Structure formats: structure tokens, C-alpha cells
Structure 1
Amino acid sequence: MSTLDASPPTAGRTPGRAGRPADDDPPSGAEVDPAAARAAMVAELERNDGLRPGPVRDALLTLPREVLMPQAYVRRGAPGEEPPRWELLDWSVPQDRPELLGLLYGGASVLVQHDGEALLGRGRGTRSGASITSMSTVVGLTASLLQELELRAGQRVLDVGTGAGVTAAVACRICGDQGVVTLDRDRHLTDAAAVRLADLGLRPGVVCGSGDEGCPARAPFDRIFVSYAMQRVPAALVEQLAPGGRLLAHITSASPSWPALAVVERTADGQVTAELRAVEFAHRAGHGMQRIRLDEEFRQRIADEQGSWTQRSMLAPPADTDRGLWLAADHLLGGLVRDFGAEPLSIGAPGCGSWLRVEPVGRSRWDVTVHGPRDIWKELQDLAIRWRAAGSPGRYRLLFEPDGRQRAVSACGRLSWHLPLPRPLHEGAST
């Protein structure tokens, strides 16, 4: 699953444990009880993530994640240390199991691939530099989206972005593996998933190919699930949706800050309807997708510098819960990234060096500091007026226009934007 890209969780050292367990410190049986860990994970999902009784809950409760992810990475060293050091833990090694169990059932993303490596036959140990190229998404996000799909026995399911195979395994348990196809552009991931799903007695179709192209040979599908973020909904996936079918995919711009969930449905008579829902979290961006970010030096400038000017304002900044406004800002203003780790509202535009800092100073007063050629504060306030005039939407209709463009539009039609056109030779991603 997701990782989450807007506020990406990463697996670091296990709390309270400075490094790998010592070879002479074998775990007790209670420390490595996967069934108990699964039950605890599901209980946490029920308390905090809206997991309901039903087939998704039942599948997660019986799915041994250590079979799908018998190895996973943990980052070692001090926060921000460069180059990063990654240690691969292995379930077959007893001293690794307590920490690995915590990673697999702790709810956060599980890091499964470093620098595009093959997953089968690799040895445990430390890797330096490069980056994590595939992870299993935060389980709460995966569970909520799988519930949104309303999976049922006998449905034909396309899982785009195989990753560790968690989504495919849940779909197989609920729908039956004969109707499930899982697709990824990375053959190392599909090869490993095929082996590990078979170890669970599951044999879905496992295909290596472009996520944007789907799997026309096995279409149509009743459900299509994309486990990475995209800039638009691929036309091929919409075409492969069966009457009565549903497709879910996260949509983002180059900024990771304010994502949306695209919900596409085909009616019984073949008509396509779709909407964009502003959401707090999303999957990780797909392969080759351009991203803009705030580096540490830029974050410090926003936090510490005086800026071009500061004014005291009685106008409140948009609330975090105004997600429909932030989604519109992401597309209509463009080039903005929020520092979610900062206490004052902090937004930067890496392309031109502009930034905004908004600090509360007493009741209904804010100190607004801006810097650079863009007045981000004025841009946000002007857009807020338009957003409120459009009814303060949190959801937008997604229209597929005859020329191939995709347009998000508020219910009243007063606020709209086009999603980016597809890039040539763009392929799907593995997450």
C-alpha cells in the first residue's frame, strides 16, 4: 500500500531499540506471535481507521504478512544522516523476527525494495545510499480503499502496482484468485509476488507491464485499484472497466501536499461517471512522475528569515479541513508545497523561491510574512473567495472530454481546472 506521499511515513529504528537485536539475545515466543500481531493490527484499524466487520477485515485478520514480506528494510543511523544506511531484516533469522514483526504489523509503510533490486535470493545485511524503490503502503489507507471497492466473491479485479502483493492477496481471498490480475512494471516485484502468493495457495494472474495500459487481454474488470498516485486517470483503465464497475486511483500534481482520490464508475448502461475527492493522504507517486519538494535549507529559510514584508491580518488562513480549497490551490495556483512539520502555516514555491509563513498572534489575528516574486497569501485568499462562492466543495466532478482532456469542476460549475495531459512513454509504477 501508500505509501503516503503527502506526509510520507518511513520505517526507522524500532522505538527503544538502538540497533539490530544481538545474536545471543533470542526472542521469546510472545515476541514473535504473528497471529497476535495480526489481531492487534486489526483492532487498531477498527479503532482508528474505520475498519468495519466484513470481508476486508476477515482477510486482513488471516493474512500472514510475513509470507508476503519475509524481508524488509529499516533505516539505521541518525535522522538526516547521509548517505542513508538500510538494513535488510529476514524472517528466517530468529534474532530479526521481533523487529520485523513490529514493522510488518505496526501499521506504517513496509520498505521492501532498495534501488530496484531483485527480491528473490537476496541476502540480509546493510545497504548504503540510493533509495527505497518499493514499499507496502500504510495498512490503514489500504484497508479503507479496499472497503471503498466493495469487493465480493466472483468479481474480476485488476490490481495496478503489485508491490509486495498485499492488495492482490486480499482480493484473492475475497473474490477468488481466478478473477484477479495484479500488474507491475517491475519484473523483480512480479516475480517475487507470484512466488509468495503461491506460498499462500493463491494464484492470480501476475503480469509485468505498464500500469497506464492495464491488462486488455483480461478485461473487462469489475474493480480496478491503483496503488500509486498519478496525474490523471489513464484512459485505458477507464476503457477496461466493466458495466457496474468501480476504479480508484489517487491523483496529485507535481506537489505531494494536497491529493485527491478519483472514483470512477461505469453504470449498467455503459456510461462513465467520476469524481475527485479531496483527501488528506495518498499513495506514493508513480514511476517517472515529476515531484517538487522543500529541501531542508528552504524549510529553514521559511522558519527563520524576515521575508519581504510582514503584515497583521484579521483574515484567517484556510483551515486544514478545507481540503477542497487546498486541492483547488494545488492545481490552480501550482508549484506550492506545504511544510506539514512546521507549527506555523508554512508554504514554499521551490520554482521561484517564494514562501509564506502565517503565525497566530492572539484572538483572530495572524502575522503574515511573504517573500519572493509571488504573493502566496493573496493568491490563497483570492482563491478562497472563489471556492466559497462555488459552495465550498470537497468533491469535484471529473469529466472525460471528447478531446481526451480531463476536467475537475465544482457542482455549480464555477470552479474548475484541467488535469495534465499524459506524458509520452509514461509508464505505471510499482509501490
Structure 2
Amino acid sequence: MLEIGTGTGWTAALLSHLAGEQNVTSIEVDAAVGERAAKNLSEAGVHPHLIVGDGADGAPAHAPYARVHVTCGIRTVPYAWVEQTRPGGVIVAPWCPNFGDDHALRLIVTPDGIAHGRFPGYSSYMMMRSQRDPRGRPTPAADRIHCATTRIDPRTVASAPPGAGLAMASLTGLSSYGFQTGDGGYVFAIIDPADHDQWCTVTWRPDIDDYQVYQVGDRPLWEEVTDAYFRWVAWGEPGRDRFGMTVTPDGQQVWLDTPDHTIG
């Protein structure tokens, strides 16, 4: 069994109790955190295999694994985890596209080296370090700023059910967050995690019919998100449990109902 993210060592201890310490490998990216976990586990009399390194690479020395248990948020499933899991093995992880709710992801690896699975519920965690968004955004040049209005209430998108957020994240590849303003308004922000020069905000205020869209960059983020939202509506507003994911050496694909109905 492979654990991604040792943390305090608590989960490694539980896994060792369930599977036997000789069958548990846990990897931690932060050397100081890993050292404290080793101390905690030693004091508890538990001695799994502990590694300091990037969890995205897995731990091939002890592969193959029957289970991979991920205790950090991911946007992209590293294929190394699939490679290091035996056929029939299971990978569970918090899939965190950072658009609305995050999701529990459960994958099963098949003999051809492909993993298929679904999103059975909610799960969230701090992001894997190599997949975190950098902090801060550059001050945009004036010619990159575009202002417009929309009649779509941004709160409709921001508060949409988990299935909608999953669909919007998969169709667009974008992230979002929202916050209340001091004057009773609400701001919904959309970010392109692959290009931090592309972002926008949509502001709701009471007693107005048209809401301000402030767009930085040439990619029409708000239009993409609302198009994705209404595609989800047209599909019958499916819940997260109707979506799934397939992971291959070429990447990951999210699908609706069956793997041949890929959406992103």
C-alpha cells in the first residue's frame, strides 16, 4: 500500500494497523515534516517504509501496490501512480480542480495500464505542492483589460451543485473562487491556472439587472464558464456520481456516464 503525503504519520499508522507495517510505504515531500512523522511513528511503535520525495513520482522501489491512498489535493493524476499499481488495484484521491466543490476520486487499474473510476462523493485537501497555483498576479496592461456586462447572475454559477462545478472545471480547465464585498455585493473570480495573465471577475450587486464583467486577457473566461454551465443544464443537471475519469499514459479524461462520452 502506498500513501502519498505522510504528514504527521497518523494515516500511515492506521494503514499499518490494517495492512501490516511491512506492507505500507509512505512518501512525504517536506523533509522536516517527514522527520517529525518518523519520530511520531517510532514512538507509537510503528515502522512502515518512509520516503522523502515528490509524491507525484510515487515510490517504484516498493511497487506494485494494491492500494494508493492520496492525502493531498490533485488537479492531474500522475501516471506514475497507475504504473505502480497492480491490475485490479485501487487509487483514491481528492480531485481538486478548484471550481466549486472538490471531489473524491476512486480509480481501478486494468491490466492494460489504464485506470477508470468515478467521483463517489466529496473530498478536499491541501494541494500537492507541484500542482499548486502560484500566488499573486501581475498588474495587467491597459490594452489587456476588457469590460462588459452580463445578465447572468454570477451567484447562479458560483453556487451551482457539485455536478455542475465538475462539468465546468472539466469543460474549461479553469479555476474559480468567490467572496462577499463589504457593501453587500459578491465577486466571482475565474482564473486560467495554465496562464495567470488570463483572469476575470464578475460582480453582483443588489438592485441591478446587468452585472459587471472585468476581463484580463483575450480568453473569454466568463463566456466559456457560462456555456459550460448551460451545457450541464441541457444534460439534465447530472450529479457528480454520473461523472468519471480515465487515466492513460497520454493524460486524463473526464466523462459523463460512460468513458466513450468524454467531456474534457
TM-score by length of structure 2 reads 0.74
Counterpart amino acid of residue 407 in structure 1: Q
Provide closer, same or farther for how the CA distance between residues 381 and 353 of structure 1 changes in structure 2, counting only shifts above 3 A: closer
Aligned length: 246
Shift of 1:334: 4.2
Alignment-derived partner of residue 143 in structure 2: none
Question: Residue 283 of structure 1 is aligned with which of 100, 125, 131?
Answer: 125
CA contact (8 A) 2:106 2:120 kept: no
List alignment gaps of at least 5 residues for structure 1.
Answer: 1-156, 299-306, 418-431
- Give the distance between the partners of 2:114 and 2:66, measured in 1 at CA: 13
Separation in structure 2 between the aligned mates of residue 368 and residue 220 of structure 1, nearest angstrom: 53
Aligned identity (percent) is 25
Distance (whole Å) between structure 2 residues aligned to residue 190 and residue 314 of structure 1 = 46
1:385 to 230, 245, 255: 230
CA distance, structure 1, for counterparts of residue 131 and residue 113 of structure 2: 30
C-alpha separation in 1, matches of 2:247 and 2:134? 27
- For 2:39 and 2:115, locate their aligned partners in 1 and report how far apart those are by CA, in whole Å: 37
Following superposition, the deviation at residue 223 of structure 1 comes to: 1.7
Q: Return the alpha-carbon distance in structure 1 between the equivalents of residues 20 and 107 of structure 2.
A: 23
Partner of 1:152 in structure 2? none
Whole-Å Cα distance in 2 between the matches of residues 390 and 312 of structure 1? 22
Indicate the SS of the match to 1:383: helix
Relative distance call for 1:383 and 1:313 in structure 2 (3 A) is: closer
The alignment partner of 2:230 has SS state of: helix
Rg larger for: 1
Q: Is contact 1:358-1:366 (8 Å) kept?
A: no
Q: Which residue of 2 aligns with 1:301?
A: none
User: Which residue of structure 1 aligns with residue 157 of structure 2?
Assistant: 318
Q: Secondary structure at the match of 1:288?
A: helix
The alpha carbon displacement at 1:189 in A equals: 2.6
Shift of 1:333: 3.0
Letter in 2 for 1:198: S
| 2:212 aligned residue | 369
Following superposition, the deviation at residue 194 of structure 1 comes to 1.8
The residue number in structure 2 matching 1:163 is 7
**Contact kept? 1:278, 1:327, Cα under 8 Å:** no
Alignment match, 2:52 = 208
Displacement of 1:161 after TM fit? Answer: 1.1
Does 1:344 find its partner at 2:186?
A: yes
Q: Secondary structure at the match of 1:318?
A: helix
Aligned to 1:262: 105
Q: 1:399 is matched with which residue?
A: 246
Larger strand fraction of residues: 2
1:224 correspondence with 2:45:
no
Unaligned runs of 5+ in 2: 141-145
Q: Write out per-residue CA displacement over residues 50-104 of structure 1, whole angstroms, 9 at most, x where no aligned residue.
A: xxxxxxxxxxxxxxxxxxxxxxxxxxxxxxxxxxxxxxxxxxxxxxxxxxxxxxx
